Structures are given as structure tokens and as C-alpha cells.
Amino acid sequence: MSTAVETPAHSVAERLAEEDLREAHQDSDEVARHHAAPSRILERAVATSVLGLSILGYFGARSVPVANETGGLDPRWWPANICLVAIALSAILLVVSFRSPPFDRDDLEPISEGGWFRLFSTLLLSTAFVVAWNLTGNFVVPCALLLATLVWVYGARGWKTLALFPVVTSGCIYLLFHTLLKVPL
């Protein structure tokens, strides 16, 4: 009798547990899709790089040319000490990266398809814009070209976006900054 009563109750509990588990896995998958994954390799690479940069910084600080060699609290003292502390801390970071689980990265979204292309294209185009602006001394034309190319790279199509937007925006910026705020563009 008692078994007959307990069995349905137990199976309901089991079903609830299974549903919760399934829901938890779904939640977990959903979260994983929107968050960057923790990476032990990344943590080790970061710690090693920071350690290397700190050592480089220390030797750089020690080799700063000083007009009067007074020793003690000279211009090398402060940056060299900063680097020494950084060396110690990055060594700790390196040890932690081998001994502890990697830091979660739930505040970051994973890199999406086309993400690297957008980033490197933007960097390349921005560099080209700076060079063109510097060489020609003209702001408006390189700026309009930059805007047109950028929106094309980001996936926009249509003449309004590719022609009207860059021309109007460049013109407005020129009027606002060059004419009103007297920034020599």
C-alpha cells in the first residue's frame, strides 16, 4: 500500500528533476552562446606576455639616458620600480594560470562570424584615412571616402547609405568643427 502511494510521488519528483535538468542545460547552452568561453591557453599567453613586457619595461627604464648621474631618486627610479612590481604580479598571474581554473568571461560576447574582418578592415581604412588626410591636407574628401567604405564593409547597401550619408556627415562635421569651433581640419 505504502509502495503504491510513494511510487507516483517519486516519479513526479523524478520527472520534475529531469525537466529542471533539461531546462538547466538549455539555459547553460543559451548562456554559452552569448558569452565568451573561458580559456586556460589565453590566460597563460596573457600572463607570459605581460611578464615579458614588464621585463622589457624594466630594462627600458634602467637604460633611460640621464643628464646628471645622481643615482637614487633619478628619472629611472619610478618607472623601474613600477616594472619590478609588475614583474612580481605577472609572475603570480602566470602561476595562477597553471594552478587555478581560468577566469570566466561572462561579461564578453563571443567573436561573431565576420568580426575579425570588420575589425581589421576598420583599422586598415582608418590608417589609410589618417595617411590621406596628412598627405593631402584635405579633410572632407578622405572623410567621405572613409565613411562610404566603412558602411559598405559593415554590410550597408543602397545609394543613400553609400553616397548621401558620407557626404552629408562629412559636410556637417566640417561646418561644425572647422567653421564654428575653429578646429583647423
Return the residues of window 75-104 that contact another protein according to CB under 8 A.
Answer: 75, 77-79, 82-83, 85-86, 89-90, 92-93, 96, 103-104
119: left (phi over 0), alpha (psi -120 to 50) or beta: alpha
Q: Residue 128, interface with another protein (CB under 8 A)?
A: no
Q: Out of 52, 65, 71, 163, name the contact with another protein by CB under 8 A.
A: 65
Does 142 sit near another protein (CB under 8 A)? no
Binding flag, residue 35, another protein (CB under 8 A): yes
Contacts of 61 (CB under 8 A, 6+ apart): 76, 79, 80, 82, 83
Number of residues that bind another protein (CB under 8 A): 83
In angstroms, what is the minimal distance from the CB of 106 to another protein?
4
In a 13 Å sphere around the CA of 166, the CA atoms on its Cβ side amount to 21
Query: What is the closest distance, in whole angstroms, from the C-beta atom of residue 98 to another protein in the complex?
Result: 14
- Given a contact cutoff of 8 angstroms between Cβ atoms, the answer to whether 97 and 47 are in contact is yes
- CA–CA gap between residue 152 and residue 157 (Å, rounded): 6
Q: Does 107 bind another protein (CB under 8 A)?
A: yes
